[in-house]
Amino acid sequence: MKEPAGNTDFVRFQRAADLDDLEFLHATFVRHSFPRHTHDTFAIGVIENGVQATYYKGSTHIATCRDICLVNPGEVHTGFSPVATGWTYRVFYPDPGLLGRVAAQVLPRAGELPHFSSPVIRDAALAFDILSFLRTLEYSDLFLERQSRLLAVLTHMISRHADRKAGAPARQNGRGAIKTSLEYLDSRFTENVTLSELSRAAGLSEFHLLRLFRAEVGLPPHAYLIQKRIDHARRLLSEGLPIIEVGLDTGFADQSHFTRAFTKIVGVTPGRYRRSSNSVQDKAACFRLK
């Protein structure tokens, strides 16, 4: 769905069933303004275009492109634009219980619900990660990718910007657990593995699994799984199998997701790769016949 041009408001509101019905929003507001209101969840978003203002705790706070907007549960605020062109943003609404579970892994005092003092945060790297996560929810059906990105975003948000900062993580030797998780993914890369399944197999919490996996392997688990799928797809395509069949056989239920992932890693579409592979094989056969 394309955003409308001009001064028309645009709203797309969705839920992610695999993330405990996490609600997320992509919207442009030109004419609409939000009166004083609260949320029973956190509201975390990034401005993509324009300018948003919020009146919060006696002051007006301005957010522009790539600024992070964040409101704690139960805190009264407004939402409006001080410019005629409005603003476009992506927002998600995580439950306090989820942030509490993540905070228990990163804050010095377990059991605390994280709190964020400012409704506008300037952190370009985190803003990029939030947008990447929210766009992933729209195009990827890979549970491991969606869940890992959510946990990573919340971990970084809490560790960098919560009122009570996290200390440096303790170093851990988890090579045995990571070896187990690699073997688990190698044997199930065509399945839609969840983060909780992988963490149980490794015997680590989801938080520690993501941190140790990236440190040992150099990739997050979902990227490793996608790489395994693409490696297998290349072998099948070089054998001349139909592209649709290859996508399904390697675990991609959505062909557009398969094409996007394949092109990103290999540099060409599955169709071009298959044609090139067949051409090389034909030339090799001709050479042997001479």
CATH (domain of 234): 1.10.10.60
- Residues 135 and 182 grouped into a single domain: no
Report how far residue 138's alpha carbon sits from residue 24's, in angstroms, rounded to the nearest whole number: 10
98 plus 206 within the same structural domain: no
Domain shared by 25 and 63, yes or no: yes
User: Is position 2 within any domain?
Assistant: no
Residue 59 lies in a domain: yes
**Which residues lie below 8 Å from residue 268, measured CB to CB, with a gap of 6+?**
276
Of 224, 42, 44, 222, whose CA–CA distance to 148 is shortest? 222
Q: Please tell me whether residues 186 and 73 are part of one structural domain.
A: no
- pLDDT of 280 over the 50 cut: no
Residue indicated by tokens 């603003």: 87
**Residue 49: which domain range?**
10-161
Q: How far is the C-alpha of 25 from the C-alpha of 29, rounded, in Å? A: 12
**DSSP-derived 3-state class of residue 91:** strand
Residue 119 domain flag: yes
* 234 & 93 share domain: no
Inside any domain, residue 3: no
pLDDT band for position 7 (cuts 50, 70, 90)? confident
Task: Domain count for the chain, please give it.
Answer: 3
| Whether residues 213 and 240 fall in one domain | no
Average pLDDT over the chain, rounded to an integer: 89
**Any idea of the CA torsion for 117, 123, 129, 132, to the nearest 10 degrees?**
100
Higher-confidence residue: 290 or 131?
Answer: 131
DSSP state letter for 155: H
The SS3 assignment for 278 reads helix
Same domain assignment for residues 146 and 32: yes
Q: Is residue 115, in this structure, part of any structural domain at all?
A: yes
Nearest Cα residue to 147 out of 185, 181, 198: 198
**Residue 124 sits in the same domain as residue 198:** no
> Do the domain assignments include residue 214?
yes
202 and 271 belong to one structural domain: no
Give a yes or no: residue 5 inside a domain: no
CA–CA distances in Å: residue 52 to residues 64, 82, 225: 7, 7, 38
Beta partners for 88? 28, 49
Q: Domain with 111 in it: what CATH number?
A: 2.60.120.10
In a domain, 1, yes or no: no
Claim to verify: residue 281 and residue 207 sit in the same structural domain = no
Could you count the other beta carbons within 10 Å of the beta carbon of residue 135?
Answer: 13
152 and 61 assigned to the same domain: yes
Q: Is the pLDDT at 165 greater than 70, yes or no?
A: no
Distance (Å, whole) CA 151 – CA 23 = 15
Structure tokens that stand for 253 in this block: 């239920």
Percent with pLDDT over 90 in the chain:
77
Cα-only R_g, the chain? 22
Q: Span 20-39, mean pLDDT?
A: 93
Whether residue 194 has pLDDT greater than 80: yes
